[in-house]
Structures are given as C-alpha cells and as structure tokens.
C-alpha cells in the first residue's frame, strides 16, 4: 500500500504478525505516516527498510527506530554516518554558488543542513542497524519480501523491495515515474549502472507486477521500461557525441530529446544527467 506525498513514496505491508514499512520520508511527516498505518492495522511496525540514504527516504528514521528494526544496504549506513563530515566539506562551496546564483531557497536549505552537520553527534544519526551486501528475504506469514541491492544507479546503496505474493515492488529512487531521474554521482550513482539496474530488475519481476516508484504515481512494468529507455537514449546520444569528438560542454549545451520534455524535472536535471552520461559513455 503506497502513501504518496511531497517527498519519497512510502510503502507498507501488513503481515499476520507485523508491519513492514519501506522508507520513512522526512522527520516531520513520519509520525503522520505512523498514524495512517495505525488506522489500517493494530499490528506492530517491526521493520523499516530504507531503499537508499537520501533525506527524503530516511529522514523519518528517528521516529521509526523507537519500535522498528531499520534495515538497508551497507552503503546506506556508511553514507548516513559519513554525512556530517561530507556536508561540512562540500556545502560551504555549494552555498556560495547558490548565493551567487541568487537561489535563496537552496541557500536556506543547505545552510540548515550545514548547521545540523556541525552540531550532530554520530551516535544520534538513525542509521540502519541491520545491513546487507547483496540480497535477503523477510518471511512474514505467507508473504516473502525480497530485498535486492542493484548495481550503483541512483546512489551506491539502492535496493528494490519486492513482495512476491502481492506482486508489488517498491523501487525507491531506482524509478522516477514520468520524471527525469536524479542521478546522485557524488552519492555513488551511475547512469550506466542505472540502466544495468533496470535490466536486472526487469529480468526478475513478473509481467503483471505493480510498481511503487520513489517519486511519481504507482505504475506497471511499461512505466519502468519507459524510464529505462530514457537512460538508454541519453547514453546512446552521449556515446555518439563522444565518438564524433564533440566536447562535453558542447554536447550538454546542444543535447535536446523532445520525447522527454513532458517529464517533470526536465529543465533542472536533464542536462546534468546528460553530462554524467557523457562522462560514462564509451
Ligand atoms: Zn533519492
């Protein structure tokens, strides 16, 4: 059952004895999510799975850790615990850039995070306490929940959570439905890896699966195939440009794929996706 909202989509599954929740949104929203789940069931929330380390998917961990075991890929824990140091290293320059560009909203958001990074103690970070490297399963009544790590894609800690009997997969940010994806290169993401991740997931999921994307509406396999095609198209265009001897700068300036102009985030993220595709193109 998905709960969609401004940040990452949350999914939850009610088993005969316990509830599994996938992603925790932001901290200020998490207690509302718990309340919504309690309206549906009185079973305890025992597990929280984080699909990756971004704040809009793990921000509510503080709320869930009081009653649930938080589980994620090894790199989710590593990146969450490293985040105060990473933010203090990277954000002053990013804040300065945003200030020069007159982007007050970004300045405010990054400054708040920098302030948090300067004062937080590592042991206060609600990182997953149970981590895995490849895949594992949770058995709840008649349901088997498969959690698969994929090649580096949106980040280097991405997981798909597949409920076998229900035929529902929560894709985390491996899937932006009708949106240009965020490819977090700093967070270990990769355009080529994203495509590979989609191919691996497509090979494992049944044709009639229901997909909960990290962002956007719930969909079917056709939607994921369209997201895969976008990645294939930018990698192909980047490969051609590189072979033709075009510079990265010229490629990014000139690239235009009208088929994707209707996707959310086209003005913000399309060009940066293409730059990353150029860096990885062969
Ligand atoms: Zn994300």
Q: What share of the chain is helix, strand, coil (3-state, %, to 5)?
A: 45, 20, 35
CA 142 / ligand 1 centre spacing (Å): 31
Four-point Cα dihedral 156, 210, 214, 237, nearest 10: 70
CA 167 / ligand 1 centre spacing (Å): 23
Distance separating alpha carbons of residues 41 and 91, to the nearest angstrom:
42
CA 52 / ligand 1 centre spacing (Å): 7
pLDDT value at residue 8: 77
Mean pLDDT by 10 residues, the chain (282 residues): 60 92 89 92 96 92 96 98 95 95 93 95 96 97 96 98 97 96 95 98 97 94 96 97 97 95 91 97 88
CA 245 / ligand 1 centre spacing (Å): 33
CA 64 / ligand 1 centre spacing (Å): 19
CA 246 / ligand 1 centre spacing (Å): 31
């Amino acid at each position: 059952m998905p709960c969609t909202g401004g940040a990452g989509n949350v999914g939850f599954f009610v088993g005969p004895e316990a509830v599994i929740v996938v992603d925790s949104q932001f901290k200020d929203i998490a207690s509302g999510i718990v309340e919504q789940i309690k309206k549906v069931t009185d079973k305890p929330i025992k597990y929280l799975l984080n699909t990756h380390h971004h704040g809009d998917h793990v921000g509510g961990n503080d709320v869930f850790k009081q009653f649930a075991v938080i589980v994620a890929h090894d790199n989710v824990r590593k990146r969450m615990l490293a985040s105060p140091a990473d933010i203090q290293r990277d954000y002053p320059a990013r804040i300065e850039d945003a200030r020069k560009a007159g982007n007050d909203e970004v300045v405010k958001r990054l400054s708040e995070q920098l302030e948090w990074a300067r004062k937080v103690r590592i042991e206060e970070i609600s990182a997953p306490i149970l981590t895995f490297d490849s895949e594992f399963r949770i058995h709840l009544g008649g349901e088997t929940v498969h959690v698969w790590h994929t090649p580096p894609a949106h980040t280097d800690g991405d997981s798909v959570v597949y409920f076998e009997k229900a035929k529902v997969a929560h894709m985390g940010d491996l899937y932006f439905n009708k949106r240009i994806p965020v490819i977090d290169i700093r967070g270990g993401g990769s355009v080529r890896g994203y495509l590979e991740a989609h191919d691996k997931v497509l090979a494992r999921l049944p044709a009639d699966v229901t997909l909960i994307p990290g962002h956007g509406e719930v969909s079917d396999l056709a939607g994921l195939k369209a997201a895969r095609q976008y990645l294939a198209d930018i990698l192909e265009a980047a490969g051609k440009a590189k072979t033709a001897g075009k510079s990265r700068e010229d490629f990014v300036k000139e690239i235009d794929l009208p088929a994707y102009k209707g996707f959310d985030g086209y003005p913000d993220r399309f060009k940066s996706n293409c730059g990353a595709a150029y860096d990885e193109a062969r």
